[in-house]
């Protein structure tokens, strides 16, 4: 199986794009790079079933045998993200329809509707056929269902399924009408048949309807995954099943909710930033993945999973070029390894890539690969060989759990709700708020976990709610219980303002937390994109500001100038031995960092490696009686870091300090403390 104790190295392998002579070279090169896991067949449906019911498995049989002989395990994909041309011709009703009613056509990938019965039946069919043939193949390490669930649809099949989902969720129309506040703009529904998906419409759509549609679609995609998973499991229950999560606000998938349904959380990560932001984005993606893994572990019925470290897998990343808007950026030497180690430090069971070999044709021919167009005599391939060696030396870290005393709460629905165009500012972005808080903690060197409302908080000294917009009584009670148990809290603007249907809590914002925070927000003052407010102490705030009235809290910082001059911007409220902070604007990065450092200090939390120089990232994994310190030098100068232990990458002991060359990393097995 996949868990043979090693870290995984490899990526998407598309042998169907190459002649058989190349397969042999591939296996030889994979062995050189110590590749031990490849995803095969993700987009191979039209080569596996070129015409309805006519299968061609000869090439896949040969490839799997070759890989097995080479000691390389396979994450065998079900190819359902790209139905073949014959399917779309035979089932035009299964092609997706956009919100403005345009039916999309074959020619790219992902042109299917996940609610269309013909698509679902065909997907089950090819999954079952693959399961029957390969479920006991010795190369099979895991099943990789589909690819990056995330496309959406507004066709009649979707509409009918949406209504059924709404009946399940709301029970009766009165409840639905209340949840969606349909008395506004004459949207009251007197019959389920009147309810549609949120199509393109004249002006602002209904926030409750949009939110429910997102939830419904996440559940629909999940059901499509689960039915494939169940077929694969039925063929061989011992083989784990997963799917690769794609990240981004546009993705209509609640990954936390999915986490208990996958045997292993797997993510794809392609940072959009090219400067230092890429490292921050990498750290956040990995912390999110670990949070989902932990959330899934809590809900898993598998006792082995319940006690093991929260494990997940970086299923895809870029070996070199990062596709940023408008151009591709080539990763600098060493950067791919640091990103990979950042993921491993945060719980990934390895570092996998899209893709093994760069193709000559096809839409993504210029996407980077472990074997680039240049071939194996290339910097990128040499770096992947070195990464393979390093991953081999790090197997023991899998025993450790990434250490964190700060929790950041995130939930998908809050992010979706904040994007409604009827919000008081078009600059609101839940992921950006999470990222800003995470960045501040990352730069200050704190380890943090991302948690889902309701997850246990006993291991955290500080809980941060970054614009966690939606809260019902359960979420409010969860936050309160953390504070009453002695935990500290930092809440940023627009947290707890609305209920799970995006209806505003009355009586002053933020309705869910104002007592805990000792304040009441009376009015919002959103800022223009190019506007900022000055804060006492020299910082600035962007995006948002508010009239905060104190009801027990004390001001820590105030607005300077403008209509809010002298009024509280940041506050602190003592609750027993705990402190509950409130931040009513988006502070600039340095100010946010100072603030979170102060909140962490008050909570008794220390940075992972307090004396690490700026630009050196430190992450620790711990197990009973053991710990491993990952040090990543993101600067272009050598850096000396106080630390003790044995560097597993070089085999050189660090006695009091380790000197990291520019752009290099060390992973220390620390002396027992």
Catalytic residue positions, numbered: 148, 316
Q: Is the Cβ of residue 127 or residue 181 nearer to ligand GLA in the bound state?
A: 127
Residues 336-365 that bind ligand GLA (CB under 6 A): 354, 364
**Cβ proximity to ligand GLA, 268 vs 287, nearer residue:** 268
ω into residue 20 within 30 of 0, thus cis? no
148 belongs to the binding site for ligand GLA (CB under 6 A): yes
The encoded tokens of residue 645 equal: 């232990």
Q: Which is nearer to ligand GLA, 147 or 492 (CB)?
A: 147
Q: How far is the CB of 13 from ligand GLA (least distance, A)?
A: 12
Indicate the SS3 state at residue 470. strand
Rounded to whole angstroms, the Cα distance separating 532 from 4 reads 53
Q: How far is the CB of 218 from ligand GLA (least distance, A)?
A: 18
Which CB atom, from 243 or from 639, has the smaller least distance to ligand GLA? 243
> Of 592, 586, 589, 591, nearest to 529 (Cα)?
586
Report which DSSP code applies to 395. G
Q: Is 110 in the site for ligand GLA (CB under 6 A)?
A: no
Give yes or no for a contact between 305 and 362, defined as CB atoms under 8 angstroms apart: no
- Tell the residue number behind the tokens 């600059």, with chain if given: 427
Stretch 290-319 residues interacting with ligand GLA (CB under 6 A) = 316
3-class SS letters over 396-417: HHHHCEECCCEEEECCHHHHHH
- Count of alpha carbons within 13 Å of 524, Cβ hemisphere only? 15
Q: Strand, helix or coil at 593? A: helix
Nearest approach in angstroms of CB 367 to ligand GLA is 5
d(CA 281, CA 433): 13
Among 39, 78, 88, 147, binds ligand GLA (CB under 6 A): 147
- Using the minimum distance from each CB to ligand GLA, give the nearer residue, 82 or 597: 82
Q: Which is nearer to ligand GLA, 243 or 492 (CB)?
A: 243
Alpha carbons 287 and 410: distance in angstroms, whole number? 11
User: Which residue, judged by CB position, is nearest to ligand GLA in the bound state?
Assistant: 268
Ordered strands of the 8-13 beta sheet: 241-242, 140-145, 73-78, 37-40, 8-13, 348-353, 312-316, 265-268, 244-245
Nearest distance from C-beta of residue 433 to ligand GLA, angstroms:
25
- Report the nearest approach of ligand GLA to the CB of residue 479 (Å): 35
Q: Give the nearer residue to ligand GLA in terms of CB position, either 147 or 282.
A: 147
Number of residues that bind ligand GLA (CB under 6 A): 8
**Residue pointed to by tokens 């988006």:** 586
Which residue, 270 or 312, has its beta carbon nearer to ligand GLA?
270
Q: Which 480-519 residues touch ligand GLA, going by CB under 6 A?
A: none
Sign of the Cα pseudo-torsion (661, 343, 385, 666, in order): positive
- Which residue of 367, 520, 542, 593 would you call a contact of ligand GLA, by CB under 6 A? 367
Restricted to residues 27-46, the positions that interact with ligand GLA (CB under 6 A) are none
Distance of closest approach, residue 557 Cβ to ligand GLA, in angstroms: 41
Task: Kindly calculate the radius of gyration of the chain based on its CA atoms and give it in whole angstroms.
Answer: 26
265 cis-preceded (ω within 30 degrees of 0): no
Least Å from the CB of residue 315 to ligand GLA: 8
Q: What is the pattern of x (binds ligand GLA, CB under 6 A) and - over residues 586-625?
A: ----------------------------------------
Residue 635: in which H helix or E strand, if any?
none
Is residue 72 within 8 Å of residue 37, measured between CB atoms? yes
In the complex, minimum distance from the CB of residue 645 to ligand GLA, in angstroms, rounded to a whole number: 35
> Nearest approach, Cβ of 246 to ligand GLA (angstroms)?
6
Other residues' Cβ atoms within 10 Å of the Cβ of residue 127: 24
**Would the CA dihedral through 198, 201, 206, 207 be positive or negative?**
positive
Pick the closer one to ligand GLA by CB: 367 or 586. Answer: 367
Where does residue 493 rank: exposed (0-12), middle (13-18), buried (19+ CB within 10 A)? buried
| Residue 600 near residue 444 (C-beta atoms within 8 A) | yes
Contacts of 47 (CB under 8 A, 6+ apart): 16, 56, 59
Q: Does 634 bind ligand GLA (CB under 6 A)?
A: no
Taking a C-beta distance cutoff of 8 angstroms, is the pair 354, 12 a contact?
yes
Q: How far is the CB of 316 from ligand GLA (least distance, A)?
A: 4
Closest CB to ligand GLA among 268 and 383? 268
Closest listed residue to residue 372, CA positions, set 324, 336, 343 = 336
Sign of the torsion angle spanned by Cα atoms 612, 614, 616, 621: positive
Euclidean distance between CA atoms 27 and 34, whole angstroms: 10
Site for ligand GLA in 265-294 (CB under 6 A): 268, 270
CA–CA separation, 462 vs 596, rounded Å?
A: 10
Q: Which residues bind ligand GLA (CB under 6 A)?
A: 147-148, 268, 270, 316, 354, 364, 367
């Amino acid at each position: 199986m996949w868990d043979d104790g090693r870290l995984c190295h490899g990526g998407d392998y598309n042998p169907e794009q190459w002649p058989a002579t190349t397969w042999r070279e591939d296996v030889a090169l994979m062995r050189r790079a110590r590749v031990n896991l490849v995803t095969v067949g993700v987009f191979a449906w039209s080569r596996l079933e070129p015409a309805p019911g006519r299968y061609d498995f000869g090439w896949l049989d040969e490839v799997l045998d070759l890989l097995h002989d080479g000691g390389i395990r396979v994450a065998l994909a079900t190819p359902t993200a790209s139905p073949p041309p014959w399917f779309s011709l035979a089932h035009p009703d299964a092609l997706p329809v956009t919100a403005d009613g345009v039916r999309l056509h074959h020619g790219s990938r992902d042109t299917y509707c996940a609610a269309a019965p013909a698509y679902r039946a065909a997907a089950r069919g090819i999954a079952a056929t693959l399961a029957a043939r390969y479920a006991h193949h010795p190369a099979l390490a895991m099943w990789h269902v589909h690819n990056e669930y995330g496309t959406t649809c507004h066709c009649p099949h979707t509409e009918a399924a949406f209504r059924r989902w709404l009946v399940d969720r709301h029970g009766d129309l009165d409840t639905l009408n209340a949840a969606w506040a349909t008395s506004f703009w004459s949207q009251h529904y007197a019959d389920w048949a009147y309810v549609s998906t949120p199509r393109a419409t004249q002006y602002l759509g209904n926030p409750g309807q949009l939110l429910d549609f997102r939830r419904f679609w996440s559940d629909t995609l999940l059901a499509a995954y689960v039915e494939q998973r169940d077929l694969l499991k039925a063929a061989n229950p011992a083989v784990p099943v997963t799917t690769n999560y794609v990240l981004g606000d546009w993705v209509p998938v609640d990954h936390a909710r999915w986490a208990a349904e996958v045997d292993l959380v797997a993510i794809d990560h392609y940072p959009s930033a090219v400067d230092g932001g890429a490292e921050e984005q990498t750290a956040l993606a990995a912390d999110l993945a670990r949070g989902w893994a932990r959330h899934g572990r809590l809900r898993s019925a598998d006792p082995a999973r319940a006690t093991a470290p929260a494990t997940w897998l970086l299923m895809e990343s870029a070996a070199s070029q990062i596709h940023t808007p408008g151009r591709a950026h080539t990763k600098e030497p060493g950067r791919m390894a640091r990103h990979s180690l950042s993921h491993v430090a945060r719980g990934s069971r390895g570092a996998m890539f899209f893709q093994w070999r760069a193709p000559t044709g096809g839409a993504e021919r210029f996407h980077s690969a472990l074997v680039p167009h240049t071939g194996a005599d290339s910097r990128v391939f040499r770096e992947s060989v070195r990464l393979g060696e390093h991953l081999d030396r790090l197997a023991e870290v899998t025993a450790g759990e990434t250490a964190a005393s700060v929790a950041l709460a995130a939930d998908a629905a809050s992010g979706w709700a904040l994007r409604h165009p009827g919000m008081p500012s078009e600059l609101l972005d839940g992921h950006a708020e999470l990222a800003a808080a995470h960045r501040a903690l990352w730069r200050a060197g704190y380890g943090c976990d991302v948690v889902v409302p309701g997850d246990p908080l006993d291991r955290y000294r500080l809980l941060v709610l970054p614009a966690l917009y939606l809260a019902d009584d359960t979420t409010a009670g969860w936050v309160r219980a953390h504070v009453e148990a002695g935990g500290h809290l930092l809440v940023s603007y627009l947290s707890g303002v609305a209920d799970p249907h995006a209806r505003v809590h009355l009586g002053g914002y933020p309705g869910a937390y104002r007592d805990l925070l000792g304040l009441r927000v009376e009015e919002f003052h959103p800022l223009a994109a190019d506007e900022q407010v000055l804060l006492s102490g020299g910082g600035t705030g962007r995006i948002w500001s508010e009239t905060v009235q104190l009801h027990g809290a004390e001001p820590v910082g105030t607005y300077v100038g403008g209509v809010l001059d002298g009024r509280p911007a940041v506050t602190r409220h003592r609750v027993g031995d705990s402190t509950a902070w409130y931040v009513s604007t988006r502070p600039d990065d340095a100010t946010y960092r100072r603030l979170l450092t102060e909140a962490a200090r008050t909570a008794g939390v220390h940075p992972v490696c307090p004396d690490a120089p700026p630009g050196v990232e430190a992450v620790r994994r711990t197990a009973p009686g053991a710990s491993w310190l990952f040090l990543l030098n993101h600067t272009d100068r050598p850096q000396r870091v106080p630390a003790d232990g044995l560097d597993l990458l070089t085999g050189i002991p660090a006695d009091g300090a380790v000197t990291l060359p520019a752009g290099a990393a060390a992973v220390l097995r620390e002396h027992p403390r």
